[in-house]
Amino acid sequence: MLYHLYELNHAVLHPLREAAGLGKKLFDSKLNPLAYTYPGKLINASCDLFESLTRRYGKPEFGLKETKINGQPVAITEEIAWEKPFCRLVHFKRNEDDMMKAYGKEHHDPRLLIVAPLSGHYATLLRGTVEAFLPEHEVYITEWVDARDVPLYEGNFDLNTYVDYVIEMLQALGPGANVMAICQPGPPVLAAISVMSEDDDPALPATMTFMGSPIDTRKSPTAPNHLAKTRPYSWFENNVIYTVPINYQGAFRRVYPGFLQLTGFITMNTENHVNAHKDYFNHLIEGDCDSVQKHREFYNEYLSVLDLTKEFYLQTISEVFQKHSLAVGEFYHNGRLVKPETVTKVALMTVEGENDDISGIGQTQAAHDLCKNIPQEMQFDYIQPGVGHYGVFNGKRFRTEIQPRLRDFFRSFFDVNKEAALRKEQVEAKDKETKAA
């Protein structure tokens, strides 16, 4: 019922939103003399703020059209490298001719699979992360699909499906890739690599990196961790799960709605968000275009959210935050016990933020305790001073202090000859598929 009320509220506000949009255009026009007066600016700012607070924010675009290598522009195109109903693997393919100009010869870089969090926001939240790696890596990222857009006939998506997806993506990329799990994906990615290691899967990655991940939330518990522990499983099932309305492709699917997640995000820092919008209103009146643009860019991303399937959300609450199944050695994947101690050939790096209020210090480092049979010379840990959760994977300190360490870590386990042979093999296989088609 709540989901339907949310949709009804959006529909009811539509005429007011349209009126606000019209007022915004009218009092923002250079042809309108009133636009230059204080009352005119006040009306314009009020209309803008109302429209921005009540409109629906769709999925953002990455918008990464080029990168620079050795000072030369290199065009970027997005390609779908792998796809299933609930996820697409996006490859930011660098133009080969531009690469030749930049290097003067054939060149191979490490492949990097960034597993974006499935916790409310779209993968585009990691746009800056992707951008930082593009000059020196072949970058792929998981683009999770909004559950309300997936028809019921496509089946369910739970934590086991998530693990299967990660395994399939790594198999599609081939051996020797680097996988980087940011926040939520930590446990399922570690589970996937544990299963692959026990099976001695030839597609094992060269490295795995966990950043601000809830591997063991018993360590330095934060406010979200306390919430998950103090409320019983039944509370989450009865209070945050709703049915997708009939006007979406995923009609009748049971989900944890994005708008509820967004409410939780905002509630955690209500004062900051209120102040940010007050500043935005004042900047509109003052005509501070730079500040206005920065606000819009941030909130266009922040307010864009997606729904999670009921089974995935509830299983994550239970297994990761309440039972700590992976940390205590009781996590099962499709009925099979997951054994992180079987990982011996994949190098491990963990990254944490000193001021992280989502995944506290030690929660990500716990991966080292679980993967106890990885040789010490293949294990690395780094705590970034002065950053919170978001700063672990984005922002100035990420670009200048964290990303260079990750780059060096990937390069330490990179075999350029094997990479060249693999690329040649993949190109030949693709050519055969094309000819056969």
- pLDDT (tens digit, 9 = 90+) per residue, 207-239? 999 999 999 999 999 988 988 889 999 999 999
The per-residue pLDDT for range 231-257, each reduced to its tens digit, is: 999 999 999 999 999 989 999 999 999
Q: What is the pLDDT of residues 398-436, one digit of tens each?
A: 999 999 999 999 999 988 777 777 877 777 677 677 667
pLDDT of residue 434: 67
What is the model's pLDDT at position 111?
Answer: 96
Taking only the tens place, the pLDDT of each residue in 315-357 is: 999 999 999 999 999 999 999 999 999 999 999 999 999 999 8
Region for 362 from its dihedrals, namely left if φ exceeds 0, alpha if ψ lies in -120 to 50, beta otherwise: left
| Average pLDDT of the residues in 259-270 | 83
pLDDT in tens, 372-383: 999 999 999 999
Which pLDDT belongs to residue 48?
Answer: 87
258: Cβ–Cβ under 8 A, 6 or more apart, which residues?
Answer: 120, 146, 305, 306, 307, 308
> Region 265-284: what's the mean pLDDT?
86
What was the pLDDT predicted at 437? Answer: 63
pLDDT band at 72 (very low <50, low <70, confident <90, very high): very high
With a cut of 90, say whether residue 199 has pLDDT above it: yes
DSSP code at position 207: E
- Edge-first strand order for the sheet with 254-256 is 242-243, 254-256, 308-309
Q: Domain spanning 80-233+308-436: which superfamily?
A: Alpha/Beta hydrolase fold, catalytic domain (3.40.50.1820)
C-alpha angle 137-139-144 in degrees, rounded to nearest 5: 160
Between residues 39 and 157, which one has the greater pLDDT? 157
Give domain limits for the chain. 1-56, 80-233+308-436, 259-306
With pLDDT > 90 as the criterion, what percentage of the chain qualifies?
65
354-370 per-position pLDDT tens digit: 999 899 999 999 999 99
Taking each helix axis from N to C end, the angle separating 38-54 and 270-286, rounded to the nearest 10 degrees, works out to 140
- What secondary structure does DSSP assign to 389-434, as a single string? TGGGTSSHHIIIIIHHHHHHHHHHT--HHHHHHHHHHHHHHHHHHH
Note the pLDDT tens digit of each residue in 104-147: 888 899 999 999 999 888 999 999 999 999 999 999 999 999 99
Q: Poorest-confidence range of 16-30, 186-200, 202-216, 361-375?
A: 16-30
pLDDT greater at residue 305 or residue 431: 305
